[in-house]
Amino acid sequence: MDGIKILKKMIKITDVLAHIPYSRTQLYEFIANGKFPKPIHLGGRASFWIEDEVISWLDAHIAAERMAA
């Protein structure tokens, strides 16, 4: 992989909230409790999430729900 760089797509909170069934308050509670990926702060008040981490979180919760059913 020498010389190969993989770019990560960064998404805003509005994009995160569009994909999860929780409110902004609940999302930040999950983050504080270590139950959701932490955002990346790129200066000022701008926060972004790595899309792959959010998708992985969703996939894990879907798999756990289906196994429990």
- The residues spanned by each domain of the chain are 10-68
Cβ neighbors of 36 (< 8 A, separation 6 or more) are: 27, 30, 57
Tell me: pLDDT of 2 over 70. Answer: no
Contact present, 58 and 19 (Cβ < 8 Å): yes
Q: Which pTM value belongs to this model? A: 0.83
Which tens digits make up the pLDDT trace of 16-62? Answer: 999 998 999 999 999 999 999 999 998 888 899 999 999 999 999 99
| Residue the block writes with tokens 């919760």 | 61
